[in-house]
Amino acid sequence: MDISVFTEKAKKLGVLSFKITQNGILLNEWYSENEIRRNIYSATKSFTSCAVGFAVQEGLLSVDEKVVDAFCDDLPQTISDNLKKATVEDLLTMRLGQKDAHLMAAQRLHYKEDDWVKKALAIPLDYEPKTHFVYSNVGPYLAGILVQRRAKCTLVDYLMPRLFAPLGIKRPTWETDYQGNSFGSGGLFLSLSELHKFGLLYLNKGNWEGQQLLAPEWIEATAKDHVTNPPYGYLFWRGEYNSFRADGMYSQLSIIFPDKSAVISVVANCYDGQSLLRAIYDDLCPQL
């Protein structure tokens, strides 16, 4: 594989390193600096989706569960009809019914409330769930909270024996809310190689070195087009070449290409994510 054209574009776009694996073979990797753990921002959401998958297969929750039942002690005084209709699946697909994004980084710093669960559930839902996509931190945050409450531990503790340890990932740092809950929408710190392993797990339909960690049915549901405009699964973006990806701000990426048996992962400080994706699709994918 010739990565020279892509690498030159990547340097200009702020890419710090990338890995390309196909059919279990590392085809190429490139680094501009020593590998360290970095904030993967909203690629964290895909790890929360993974935690939900484990919780579903362990019978701790269901994607069809009503939000009002899951959070019965945190509801506003007046419960709207739209909130009554919302399900856990709506949290995973960004179709809760909000008009605007909430719990975003620039907003959280200025919140007076410490209880973000009650704050999130009190946000008016202007649209019926499943009818309107709004990219927001509310859904994945609440999904992560639900896993933590049912499992009676943080997302880090929950995923250590189920995901991180089997993949050879030492205990990571993960941002918390003011009450000590892992923030399911962002703030997980991983290295390129660790993020790449996560993509490989999903490429292999939940199997890692012969051990079935996560049910393949969950991987299939995750990668499905639950939303078509924009194409979105269970806290994974959908993309060209039938791909799906964990995607964080400034292009922290692990892109899974099932049809090509490949994963391309990137850590970057990129302010033009669309151009970087275009370069991946145009310069790398045709060679796979």
Q: Give the chain's domain count.
A: 2
Per-residue pLDDT reduced to its tens digit, 242-266: 999 999 999 999 999 999 999 999 9
Same domain, 157 and 186: yes
Same domain, 63 and 186: yes
Per-residue pLDDT reduced to its tens digit, 134-184: 999 999 999 999 999 999 999 999 999 999 999 999 999 999 999 999 999
* CA 256, chain centre distance (Å): 13
Mean pLDDT estimate for the chain: 97
Residue 174 lies in a domain: no
Same domain, 105 and 205: no
Q: Which residues contact 216 (CB under 8 A, 6 or more apart)?
A: 205, 206, 207
Q: What is the pTM of this model?
A: 0.98
Same domain, 163 and 78: yes
Cβ count within 10 A of residue 48: 29
* Whole-Å CA distances, 108 to 69, 97, 112, 124, 137: 26, 20, 9, 18, 10
Same domain, 198 and 281: yes
- Cα gap 16→4, rounded to integer Å: 15
Same domain, 247 and 143: no
Write out the residue range of the structural domain in which residue 64 sits.
44-168+179-190
CATH number, position 267: 3.40.710.10
